[in-house]
């Protein structure tokens, strides 16, 4: 049977230490966070999002971002990135030695208003300064476009709006846009259509996908995106983080589940799956509940940790 050609190599962006831990209620020690990041880098993950330089009153889990960033024994082949919401966060990230950051813009107006109390346009204007200043310091900036496949308040988000905002982010100077299914509602046909619409306007190499497995469609969506030429995917070790809009439901696509499928497809990632499992077990021991990754459960027998 002939199938569409797939990218020979995929970049997996590990978001567990930030997007994962940020949604966990148990406060994890700085030393454990550092050990987790180091284990993920040692597993061969090429990019690790290590923290968010945000207001600690809003996100207590990220209060030690500077200590985490400074405490990591950095590997030369790994890119370390961190979320930055504003110029104050950028200054902290710079002081902590970060050379790459990420910003988040919402595709849905209501989500932007409720989440950061700003219109989408106002957030883009504010982020333009962050991107400018970061690049002036030689830092690379990644953009997240959240709620790109649906909003918990508005429901459907128009594809044309997602394409337009992706173009605007790239024209601001971000090197890549992680098109994010924040509430895990996307299905493969929509993902294929979205990537096709985007590819007509921006280089496919500048498109990453940040998928959630809330309704069990994340891996099917990855396959659809691979067939459409996408070669960068976000994932969280063990599926750490859950879904902030549906307590108890799955959130981030699990790194193990993604790597397992990519390996089966013969796609190179440079990641050692067993070593990711060890990193997930390390963090699972600190958060007080089993992680949702199917692969992790499959290799852990009766103890899904």
Q: How far is the CB of 251 from Mg ion (least distance, A)?
A: 6
**HSE toward the beta carbon, residue 154, CA cutoff 13 A:** 18
Return the number of the residue (206 or 209) whose C-beta is nearest Mg ion: 209
Active site (annotated) includes residue 243: yes
The pair of three-digit structure tokens given for residue 121, joined into one six-digit string: 């346009």
Q: How far is the CB of 136 from Mg ion (least distance, A)?
A: 29
Return the number of the residue (19 or 38) whose C-beta is nearest Mg ion: 19
d(CA 250, CA 262): 20
Residue nearest to Mg ion as judged by C-beta position: 19
Q: How far is the CB of 165 from Mg ion (least distance, A)?
A: 18
Q: How far is the CB of 252 from Mg ion (least distance, A)?
A: 4
Return the number of the residue (228 or 235) whose C-beta is nearest Mg ion: 235
174 within 8 A of 141, measured Cβ to Cβ:
yes
**Percentage helix, strand, coil for the chain under 3-state DSSP, each rounded to 5:** 45, 15, 40
User: What does DSSP say about strands 232-235 and 176-180: parallel, antiparallel, or unpaired?
Assistant: unpaired
**HSE toward the beta carbon, residue 62, CA cutoff 13 A:** 26
Return the number of the residue (94 or 283) whose C-beta is nearest Mg ion: 283
Which residue reads 């190499």 in tokens?
A: 205
User: What does DSSP say about strands 207-210 and 232-235: parallel, antiparallel, or unpaired?
Assistant: parallel
Return the number of the residue (18 or 79) whose C-beta is nearest Mg ion: 18
Q: Using CB under 5 A as the criterion, what x/- string covers residues 13-42 for binding Mg ion?
A: ------x-----------------------
Burial label for 5, CB within 10 Å (0-12, 13-18, 19+), is exposed
Q: Using CB under 5 A as the criterion, what x/- string covers residues 226-255 for binding Mg ion?
A: --------------------------x---
Which residue reads 């979205």 in tokens?
A: 194
Of 243, 250, 283, 287, the active-site residue reads 243
Q: How far is the CB of 133 from Mg ion (least distance, A)?
A: 26
d(CA 209, CA 74): 25
Give contact residues for Mg ion (rule: CB under 5 A): 19, 252
Catalytic residue ranges: 243
């Amino acid at each position: 049977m002939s199938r569409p050609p797939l990218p020979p190599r995929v970049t997996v962006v590990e978001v567990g230490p930030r997007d994962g831990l940020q949604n966990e209620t148990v406060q994890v020690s700085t030393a454990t966070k550092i050990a987790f990041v180091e284990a993920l880098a040692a597993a061969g993950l090429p990019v690790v999002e290590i923290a968010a330089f945000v207001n600690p009153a809003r996100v207590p889990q990220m209060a030690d971002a500077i200590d985490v960033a400074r405490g990591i024994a950095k590997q030369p082949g790994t890119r370390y990135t961190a979320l930055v919401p504003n110029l104050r966060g950028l200054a902290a990230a710079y002081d902590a030695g970060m050379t790459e950051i990420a910003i988040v813009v919402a595709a849905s107006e209501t989500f932007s208003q409720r989440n950061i109390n700003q219109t989408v346009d106002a957030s883009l204007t504010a982020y333009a300064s962050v991107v400018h200043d970061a690049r002036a310091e030689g830092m690379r900036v990644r953009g997240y476009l959240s709620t790109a496949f649906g909003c918990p308040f508005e429901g459907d988000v128009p594809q044309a709006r997602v394409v337009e905002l992706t173009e605007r982010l790239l024209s601001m100077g971000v090197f890549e846009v992680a098109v994010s299914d924040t509430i895990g509602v996307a299905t493969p046909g929509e993902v294929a259509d979205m990537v096709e619409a985007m590819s007509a306007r921006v280089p496919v190499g500048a498109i990453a996908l940040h998928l959630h497995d809330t309704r069990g469609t994340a891996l099917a969506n990855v396959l659809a995106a691979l067939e459409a030429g996408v070669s960068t995917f976000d994932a969280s070790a063990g599926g750490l983080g859950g879904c902030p809009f549906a307590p108890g439901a799955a959130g981030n696509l699990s790194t193990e589940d993604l790597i397992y499928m990519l390996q089966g497809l013969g796609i190179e990632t440079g990641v050692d799956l067993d070593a990711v499992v060890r990193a997930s077990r390390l963090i699972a021991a600190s958060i007080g509940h089993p992680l949702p990754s199917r692969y992790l459960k499959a290799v852990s027998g009766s103890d899904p940790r």
